[in-house]
Amino acid sequence: MSDNNEALIKKDRLRFSKNKMSSGLILAAIAANALYFVSIYKSDVGSYYYKLFIGVSIVYNLIFMLVAFLSSEGVKNYKMGYAYTAIVIGLLQFGRIFYLPREAHETPNPVVGSEDLTVMQDEQFHYVVILLCISAVLLIVAGIIGIIKTSTLRNYQAELDRKL
């Protein structure tokens, strides 16, 4: 089988197979995000932010998971819009690092006798930042793969239509 032929078959395969790789990466990103918010809410950080701020955070997590899941299904079926959506929510994951975890990491602990500590300590901070980074990278990579595969398939379909 020549290289040209292989490439052609690879393209043709796209017509009958789903973009499971992008879809799987997004689902993994959702899992990483779930670990992130479980870590936040089960710790004292959750109790410290027991106000509107934490409510917004919860709502955002729910919306994030819904949108990410829809993106996962969308990119699986080669929908270009969902591939871009995955990239956008991936970038937002990076942005979140500078919001809750960093703020909590830099705020002194209000508990009497713990003034020398921060609300979120180093260990947890590193853990949640890594999770957010993993989640963001997975989403962006999934989006990029989705864009590449979707445009390859679109061009190939157009080529086939022209031949017909």
Partner 1 sequence: MSDLKLQHLEKIYDNKVQAVYDFDLEIDDGELIVLVGPSGCGKSTTLRMVAGLEDISKGNLIIDGKDVTQMPPKDRDIAMVFQNYALYGHMTVYENMAFSLMLRKQNKNEIHQKVMAAAEILDLTSQLNKKPGQLSGGQRQRVAMGRAIVRTPKVFLFDEPLSNLDAKLRSATRREILLLHKRLHATMLYVTHDQTEALTLADRIVCMSMGHVQQIGTPLELYDTPANLFVAGFIGLPPMNLFDVEIRDGHAVCADFITDLTPEETRILSPYNGKTVTMGVRPENVVLGGAINVDVSSNENLGQNTLVNGSVGKHRITCKFRDWCNYRYGDTVQVSFNKKHFFDKDTTNAIR
Binding site for partner 1 (CB under 8 A): 1, 6, 9-10, 12-13, 15-17
Dist CA 65 CA 135 (whole Å): 11
Give 136 or 145: the residue with its C-beta nearer to partner 1. Answer: 145
Is residue 74 within 8 A of residue 82, CB to CB? The reply is yes
Give 12 or 122: the residue with its C-beta nearer to partner 1. Answer: 12
Report DSSP state, residue 69.
H
Give 5 or 110: the residue with its C-beta nearer to partner 1. Answer: 5
Give 15 or 154: the residue with its C-beta nearer to partner 1. Answer: 15
| Closest approach of partner 1 to the CB of residue 157, in Å | 12
Tell me the residue length of the chain.
164
Is residue 144 within 8 A of residue 14, CB to CB? The reply is no
| Closest approach of partner 1 to the CB of residue 3, in Å | 11
Q: Which two tokens stand for residue 111?
A: 């508990």
Residue 118's DSSP bridge partners are 108
